[in-house]
Amino acid sequence: MSREYAPYSQPLWRRLLLTREWAVIALLAVVVLYSLANVRNFDGPLTLTFLLLDTAPILLIALPMTLVIVTGEIDLSVASIVGLSSVLLGVLHEAGLSIPVAGLLAILAGVACGAFNGFLVAYVGLPSLAVTIGTLALFRGLAVGLLGTKAITDFPDSWKDLATATIGDTGVPVVMILFVVLALLFTLLLQFTTFGRGIYDTGLNPEAAHFTGVNVERTKFILFVLSGAVSALAGVYYTLRFGSARGDNAVGLELQVIAAVLLGGVSIFGGRGKLHGVIAGVLLIGVISSALRLESVQVSYTNVIIGLLLVASVMSPSVLAWVSGKTARRNKRGPGPQSAPVGVGTQGR
């Protein structure tokens, strides 16, 4: 009596490969191969190390940022939390605490910052864009206020070395182990848990999510806390990597993170996006900057190219829809003023 259904409408390889995420990964591969062949010193031993050391904070923060953006919210305060965490690490270490203890306290401060954002967004119901523009200034103000314009540079060499050390002679920095572990955890959280399904539901239709029993408020709150915690962790790394705690560390980093997340195929409206695309997006920007630097192209041109790439990637779904609509029209007889096909079975409205 009852029907049977195929679980999937497309074969496995199509579902896996013909996606926005794989388009970014393919583009990354093309750019890497091109650079290896044409950019002098791109295949040098230090290129990979510096590329990964430089993009590590972006890679780390992009993980929770992806989840936040999938719920339809945004966190603009991440770079300020990096700065605050950096200053706290410096001040606490100067006061005599060891690096692990000071680092842990700095991360707890990040948790508190994230909880503050999350409380205002999830439970008070304020728009995250406004809240985190406010806390962007607030947390940065605290960081600069604590330390003024001076810098603390007196960190133990062993920790500074660890922050830049590589795994054996692979050229891959040790910090990548931390990143890979976190990336796996965040991927499991987003793609393979009920909490992750709730993240997508919240982004696609918060009202229906609420009716289905998803705890929309708690979901958003937890994600802002994770964003604060990981940003503070990135702040600790940032400080040790450059051996310098300053109030203005990582200014503007939030825009690089968000740009990479969007480039990786996450919809700014929420509900869509996966982490492998985002990671490829971050690395794509890193590789392009690195290759252009080796070619001695000015940083301003690098920014122009990355900006154009981002605009193109955000436009691409609409352009593709327009092109396929146009071909479909050309193939069918008769011109039609309406490009949007109207579902026949749907309710007229």
Partner 1 sequence: MATAHTGVPTLELRDVAKSFGAVVALESGSIRAEAGSIHALVGENGAGKSTLVKIVAGVHRRDSGELLLDGESVDFGSTAESKARGIAVIYQEPTLFPDLSVTENIFMGRQPTGAGRRIDRSAMYAETEGLFERLGVHIDPRRLARGLSIADQQIIEIAKAISLDARVLIMDEPTAALSGVEVDRLFAVARSLRDEGRALIFISHRFDEVFELCDTITVLRDGSYIDTLKTADTNVDEIVALMVGREVGDLFPKTPAPVGQAVLQVEGLSSRGVFHDVSFEVRAGEIVGLAGLVGAGRSEIARAVFGVDGYDSGTVSLAGRVVPGGNPRAAIKAGMAFVPEDRRKQGLVTEASVAHNVAGVIRSGLSKAGLLTQKAESQAAGPWAGRLEVKTSALDMNAATMSGGNQQKVVIAKWLATNPKLLIIDEPTRGIDVGTKAEVHRLLSELANDGMAILMISSELPEVLGMADRVLVVCEGRITADIPRAEATPENVMRAATDTLEAQR
**Residues interacting with partner 1, by CB under 8 A?**
2-10, 15, 188, 192-194, 196-197, 200-201, 204-205, 207-213, 215, 271-272, 328, 332, 334, 336-338, 341-349
Minimum distance, C-beta of residue 228 to partner 1, in the bound complex (Å): 23
Question: What H or E segment, with its residue span, contains residue 15?
Answer: helix 12-17
> Closer CB to partner 1, residue 168 or residue 337?
337
For 58, other C-beta atoms within 10 Å of its C-beta total 24
Q: How many residues does the chain have?
A: 349
Q: Pick from 78, 75, 28: which is nearest to 51 by CA?
A: 28
Least distance from partner 1 to the Cβ atom of residue 192, Å: 5
State which residue, 29 or 328, has the beta carbon closest to partner 1.
328
What lies within 8 Å, CB to CB, of 298 at 6+ separation is none
Compute the least distance from the CB of residue 270 to partner 1, in Å: 10
The residue (of 252 and 345) whose beta carbon lies closer to partner 1 is: 345
Nearer CB in complex with partner 1: 49/205: 205
CB of 334 to partner 1, least distance (A): 5
SS3 303: helix
User: Nearest distance from residue 63's CB to partner 1, in Å?
Assistant: 18
The DSSP result for 79-145, as a single string, is HHHHHHHHHHHHHHHHTT--HHHHHHHHHHHHHHHHHHHHIIIIIS---HHHHHHHHHHHHHHHHHH
Smallest gap from residue 9 Cβ to partner 1 (A): 4
Q: Is 60 helix (H, G, I), strand (E, B) or coil?
A: helix
In the complex, least distance from residue 221 CB atom to partner 1, rounded to whole angstroms: 15
Closest CB to partner 1 among residues 218, 293: 218
Instruction: Give the alpha-carbon dihedral of 153, 155, 158, 162, to 10 degrees.
Output: -70
**Number of alpha carbons in the 13 Å side-chain half-sphere of residue 187:** 12
Burial class (CB in 10 A: 0-12, 13-18, 19+), 27: middle
Q: Name which of 44 and 325 has its Cβ closer to partner 1.
A: 325
Residue with Cβ nearer partner 1 (190 or 291): 190
